[in-house]
Amino acid sequence: MTQMSEQQTDLPRTAPATVETSGRFRFGPREVNRMGFGGMKLTGPRLAGPPADRDAALAVLRRAVELGVQHIETSDHYGPHVVNQLVREALHPYPEELVVVAKVGARRTPDGGWAEALSAPELRRAVHDDLDQLGLDVLDVVVLRMPGMGDIPVERSLAEPLEALVELQQEGLVRHVGVSHVTPAQVTEALGIAPLACVEHNYNLINRADDDLVDDLARRGIPYVAVQGLSYTTLFRVRGLTPEQSAVLGGVARRVGGTPEQVAMAWLLARSPNMLLIPGATTVPELEEHLAAAALVLDPVDLAELDSFATSRAPGPGAAVPTSPLTTTEEKS
């Protein structure tokens, strides 16, 4: 919990609420609860090395599944290798309803930095590494992470790396592919190459640049996975709020009995039926507090106040989006 949330609300909503209240949407091979889990935080400093408390990390993964999490994102370059190993130790053999999502497209440098790894041989190696470390014969979903810093993707063709993943899909090593850190133009290009299991990008109360993309994907029946920054919490730590916005967010949190971060996640779930979240956590209490956001109910007044934070177009939750995602020929089991 952030310092701000401690100051603004004394009664955070915590588990045992399950994530089933987050609603459901199809993600890759099956329909899942929309609130998932992102494993990136289960590492050491700078996302390198093992976590400070390995037992706590394992407990977090097991508790997530107990509370109804049905999609977990991991990657060989988290650690590197660390999160994959933790996921396998904690959850293998995996529950039938769990979708394991592996992110590829980067590699760790000797100094702990990051470099793109988008060539066909690099992507093939990454998929095989994920398979070996996770103890799987096939990956449910592989997400191609394109380069770029912060909120700014690099506008370049993704055809070559995505086609490399499609080849692995045709070989039976990957069931579904998605893309991450991409522009709307890149999403259009990707859809011309293969059906997409998901699109991931930075999106929150004050970063609404993808409003149109969220709505378009909802009409297509494609999940939008909201992420931001290295925390991969989807809480966004409500950075960049003005004092007035902070006061509004705190007021909504007090009215609904949650923390500002929980309200930020509840707003995302209300924004569109295709919105998926992957909050991260390093302890069970932190996990339970994050997942309990799925139980918050925001009324029209709350939603209107939060929608006003947008500096771009700010449709109300679900605006211009069908209540049931359209079935398309692009989305297949």
Query: Could you tell me if 232 and 40 are in contact, meaning their C-beta atoms sit under 8 angstroms apart?
Result: yes
Report the distance separating Cα 153 and Cα 151, nearest Å: 7
Query: Could you tell me if 233 and 280 are in contact, meaning their C-beta atoms sit under 8 angstroms apart?
Result: yes
In a 10 Å sphere around its CB, with 0-12 CB exposed, 13-18 middle and 19+ buried, how is residue 305 labelled? middle
List all residues 6 or more positions away from 104 whose beta carbon is below 8 Å from its beta carbon.
75, 76, 117, 123, 126, 127, 130, 142, 143, 144, 145, 165
Other CB atoms closer than 10 Å to residue 116's CB: what's the count?
A: 15
Query: Could you tell me if 218 and 321 are in contact, meaning their C-beta atoms sit under 8 angstroms apart?
Result: yes
Report the distance separating Cα 184 and Cα 176, nearest Å: 20
Report the distance separating Cα 287 and Cα 64, nearest Å: 7
Query: Could you tell me if 42 and 282 are in contact, meaning their C-beta atoms sit under 8 angstroms apart?
Result: yes
Is 203 one of the annotated active-site residues of the chain? no
The token duo for 267 is 């707003």
Residue 2 φ then ψ, to 5°: -80, 165
Report the distance separating Cα 150 and Cα 230, nearest Å: 9
CA atoms 151, 214, 66, 253: torsion sign: positive
Find where tokens 């396998």 sit: 88
Report the distance separating Cα 239 and Cα 4, nearest Å: 11
Report the distance separating Cα 83 and Cα 85, nearest Å: 5
Q: Hey, which residues are catalytic here?
A: 78
